[in-house]
Amino acid sequence: MQERLHEAEILADRTAAESAESWRQRDLSVLWHPCTQMREHPGTLPLVPISHGRGAWLVGHDGRHYLDAVSSWWTNLFGHAEPRIAAAVAAQAGRLEQVMLAGFSHEPAVRLAERLLDIAPREPGRAPLAKVFYADNGSAGVEAALKMAFHWFHNRGEHGRTRFVALENGYHGETIGALSVGDIPLYRQVYAPLLKEALFAPSPDAWLAEPGQSPAERAEQAAAGLAALLERHPGEVCALILEPRLQCAGGMRMHDPLYLRRARELCDAHGVLLIADEIATGFGRTGTMFAFEQAGTMPDLMCVSKGLTGGFLPLAAVLATQDIYDAFLDDSRERAFLHSHSYTGNPLACAAALASLDIFASDDVIERNRVTAQSLRALSAPFADHRHVADVRQAGMVVAFELTRDGDRSTPFPAGARIGLRAYRAALQRGVVLRPLGDVLYWMPPYCIDADQLALLAETTLAAIDEAVACA
Ligand SMILES: *Cc1c(COP(=O)(O)O)cnc(C)c1O
């Protein structure tokens, strides 16, 4: 009996492995994957067919479990297939799946807008964010915010304000407009001839601080650079766009919130709008609901997406002040914001977002994350002494490890060594998803990650670094 059971298990394992292999082959014959040199599949870069997810785990068709330490590209908040969000989406799907938002309205879109405005960053004495415009993914949200900023000045008769200021090493998405304000050569270079030239201000990134310079001093220095840039282009700039507190795609680089206060002051002084791209930082990632809160001030326009739906469905929102909204009111259509996406404000996505916000309230998520963030700090601290770790940094629920050859700032690994990729493969083999950004490894786990999973994460990260550098 025992033996037969064992045989059945082996057979099941074999069938699972075959099933995974079959999905892999079918995939590679028809799919073109995002952000991937397809030639690397599957030899250099594993391709893992996922059958289902539960909590912080992704489960492969081969039955293997993978800890999702990067929240599936920073989207997932409370774990995969979270039952409360799943139920909300299912209920909404049985009632109304989609209706165009021009000329029509629906309950989830209205309720969600009310709640987003309610939790948005604010500053006493400043008019709050008061209107919500929906889009259906992060880049589309950024495009809408950029067009709104330009159009706002246009409507006020300031036709010369046609330029955007963005930060060095920033990232705002991959569509042409969003790419124009991004500064990551890997994504930008090929398309440079197509892009609208933005003005790039120095990044306040604390990693770039000179020896002895504090993060706050670095922030002041970068703000001085921004001030000089704005002075060189009077009346030409419509908006500054930035990722508050944390430049994610740029390598999880962090800055002092002081920079955001300075940016706010400079935008006010130069009559420039401030766009906060909270697409990755929003919904608790950096410890507060939105990263901008940490500066005690607010933007004029704020983009959210990714975690907005708890990681269930694509949706984005641009929050704007009443003043911006009002400048579009007129008898003529040209003054109106004639921008739309077919799925603007999709009811299913809005229902997922509402269920996600309910969880923030019912589970006291931001407060509970403080405890998890302390565990992340304790588990990541020993890495600072590692021979190949030049920096360990943290912003709330995000931790990053900067890997270099000698563990200092001046000795990056040669790009050809592909240390990040090697670490990724080593971690994946051990059942942890640690997708790197170049030679930066990071933890951005779903908030439901438990103590055992955290321990596995730390242990695997160490093993992955050691294995990656051993064969370099
Ligand atoms: C991911 C991201 C975007 C783009 O969002 P998509 O939904 O991938 O288009 C924009 N800005 C930031 C800061 C992001 O991290």
> Most distant CA pair in the chain: distance in Å?
84
Q: Which residues make beta-bridge pairs with 395?
A: 398
* Domains with residue ranges and CATH for the chain: 48-81+365-469 (3.90.1150.10), 88-363 (3.40.640.10)
Buried b (16+ CB within 10 A) or exposed e, 30-49: eeeeeeeeeeebeeebebbb
- Residue with the nearest Cα to atom 10 of ligand 1? 172
**Residue of 136, 169, 171, 285 best suited for mutating to test ligand 1, as the one with most atoms within 8 Å of CB:** 171
- Confidence band of 472 (pLDDT split at 50, 70, 90): low
Q: What's the average model confidence in pLDDT over 125-138?
A: 98
Ligand 1, CB within 6 Å, residue ranges: 137-139, 142, 171-173, 243, 248-249, 277, 279-280, 305-306
- Residue with the nearest Cα to atom 8 of ligand 1? 138
Least confident of 218-222, 385-389, 397-401, 467-471: 467-471
| % the chain with pLDDT above 90 | 94
Strand (E) or helix (H) holding 469? helix 451-470
Q: What is the pLDDT of residue 5?
A: 58
User: Crossing angle for the helix pair 451-470 and 365-380, nearest 10 degrees?
Assistant: 40
- Confidence band of 3 (pLDDT split at 50, 70, 90): low
CA of 19 to the centre of ligand 1 (A): 33
CA of 158 to the centre of ligand 1 (A): 29
What distance in Å separates the CA atoms of residue 467 and residue 472, rounded to the nearest whole number? 9
Using the structure block, give the residue that is written with the tokens 């999880």: 252
3-state secondary structure 319-371: EEEHHHHHCCCCCCCCCCCCCCCCCCCCHHHHHHHHHHHHHHHHCCHHHHHHH
Q: Do residues 168 and 200 lie in contact, with contact meaning Cβ atoms separated by under 8 Å?
A: yes
CA of 280 to the centre of ligand 1 (A): 7
Q: What's the average model confidence in pLDDT over 205-234?
A: 97
Q: Do residues 283 and 120 lie in contact, with contact meaning Cβ atoms separated by under 8 Å?
A: no
Residues 403-460: pLDDT tens digits? 999 999 899 999 899 999 999 999 999 999 999 999 999 999 999 999 999 999 999 9
Atom of ligand 1 nearest to the CA of 142: 10
CA of 62 to the centre of ligand 1 (A): 31
Sorted by sequence, the CB contacts under 8 Å of residue 402 that are 6+ apart come out as: 207, 251, 389, 390, 391, 392, 393, 439, 440
CA of 172 to the centre of ligand 1 (A): 5
- Average pLDDT of the chain, as a whole number: 96
Specify the amino acid at residue 237.
Answer: V
CA of 305 to the centre of ligand 1 (A): 7
Per DSSP, which regions of 82-236 are E strands?
A: 129-135, 163-167, 199-201
Would you call the peptide bond into 42 cis, given omega within 30 degrees of 0 as the criterion? yes
Q: What is the pLDDT of residue 7?
A: 74
- Residue with the nearest Cα to atom 7 of ligand 1? 138
- Confidence band of 392 (pLDDT split at 50, 70, 90): very high
Q: 271: exposed, middle or buried (C-beta count within 10 Å: 0-12, 13-18, 19+)? A: middle
Q: What is the pLDDT of residue 185?
A: 93
| pTM recorded for the entire structure | 0.96
- Residue with the nearest Cα to atom 15 of ligand 1? 280
Cα 298 from chain centroid (whole Å): 19
CB-side neighbour CA atoms (13 Å) of 65: 8
Residues 242-283: pLDDT tens digits? 999 999 999 999 999 999 999 999 999 999 999 999 999 999
- Confidence band of 8 (pLDDT split at 50, 70, 90): confident
CA of 138 to the centre of ligand 1 (A): 5
Atom of ligand 1 nearest to the CA of 139: 9
Long-range contacts: 344-347, Cβ < 8 Å, 24+?
344/100, 344/101, 344/102, 344/134, 344/135, 344/136, 345/101, 345/106, 345/109, 345/134, 345/315, 346/98, 346/136, 346/313, 346/315, 347/92, 347/95, 347/96, 347/97, 347/98, 347/99, 347/106, 347/108, 347/109
- Residue with the nearest Cα to atom 3 of ligand 1? 173
Residue 102: pLDDT above 70? yes
